A and B are shown apart, each in its own frame.
Chain A
Amino acid sequence: MTTKSLVKVQDASCWFDVSRPWLERVLKRRPRTHLKAVNGVSFTVEKGETLALVGESGCGKSTVARLLVGLYTPSSGHIEFDGQPVSMLRSREGKQLRQRLQMIFQDPYASLNPRWRVARIIAEPLKVHGKMTQAERDERVDALLQQVGLSPTDRNRYPHQFSGGQRQRISIARALAASPEFLVCDEPTSALDVSVQAQVLNLMKKLQQDLGLTYLFISHNLAVVHHVADRVAVMYLGRIVELAPRDALFSRPRHPYTRMLLSAIPDPAGTGQRRIPVAGEVPNPLNPPSGCPFHPRCPHARDICRQHMPATINDGPTQVACHGIKEGWLGK
Chain B
Amino acid sequence: MPLLDVRNLRVEFHTRRGVLTALDDVSLQINMGEVLGVVGESGAGKSLTGSAIIGLLDPPGRITKGEILLDGRRIDTLPEDAMRRIRGREIGAIFQDPLTSLNPLYTVGRQLVETIVTHLPLTPSQARSRAIELLESTGIPAAAQRIDHYPHQFSGGMRQRVVIALALAAEPRLIVADEPTTALDVSIQAQIIDLLKTLCRERGAAVMLITHDMGVIAETADRVAVMYAGRIAEIGPVSNVIGDPQHPYTRGLMESIPSIHRTTEFLAQIDGSMPRLNAIPPGCAFNPRCPHRMARCLSERPELLEAGNSMAACWLHDTGARK
Contact = CB atoms under 8 A, between A and B. Distances in A.
22 contacts: A56-B188, A163-B273, A193-B41, A194-B256, A195-B41, A196-B41, A197-B256, A223-B260, A227-B264, A264-B186, A266-B193, A266-B216, A266-B218, A267-B261, A268-B217, A270-B215, A270-B218, A272-B219, A277-B194, A278-B190, A278-B191, A281-B155
Interface stretch (A13-21, A42-50, A199-207, A301-309): A199-207
Given A56-B186, A260-B187, A267 B218 contact: yes
A281 B218 CA distance: 24
A88 interface: no
A198 B256 contact: yes
Interface string A72-89: 000000000000000000
Nearest to B157: A281
B190 A194 contact: no
Contacts, number: 132
B83 interface: no
Nearest to B258: A227
Interface residues of A, number: 45
A198 B268 contact: yes
B243 A271 contact: yes
Contact of B186 (A206, A250, A261, A269): A261
A273 interface: yes
B216 A202 contact: no
A220 interface: yes
B270 interface: yes
A198 B257 CA distance: 7
A226 B218 CA distance: 20
Interface string B204-245: 000000001111111100000000000000000011001100
A202 B266 CA distance: 6
B271 interface: yes
B129 interface: no
Contact of A266 (B215, B243, B266, B269): B215
Interface in A50-77: 56-57
B252 interface: yes
A275 B270 CA distance: 30
B267 A202 contact: yes
Interface of B: 41-42, 155, 157-158, 185-191, 193-194, 212-219, 238-239, 242-243, 252-254, 256-261, 263-271, 273
A330 interface: no
The 3 closest A-B pairs by CB, nearest first: A266-B215, A198-B256, A227-B258
A35 interface: no
A125 B112 CA distance: 54
Contacts of A164: 42
Nearest to A54: B186
Interface string A251-263: 0000000001111
B254 A268 contact: yes
B81 to A, nearest CB: 38
Contacts of A279: 191
A279 B155 CA distance: 14
A193 B269 contact: no
Nearest to B256: A198
Given A260-B187, A277-B191, A195 B252 contact: yes
A279 B213 CA distance: 22
A260 B155 CA distance: 20
B189 A264 contact: yes
Nearest to B216: A266
A278 B191 CA distance: 7
A266 B189 CA distance: 9
A212 to B, nearest CB: 16
Contact of B269 (A198, A268, A271, A272): A198
B239 A272 contact: yes
A224 interface: yes
A248 interface: no
A273 B219 contact: yes
B271 A199 contact: yes
Contacts of A226: 258-260, 263
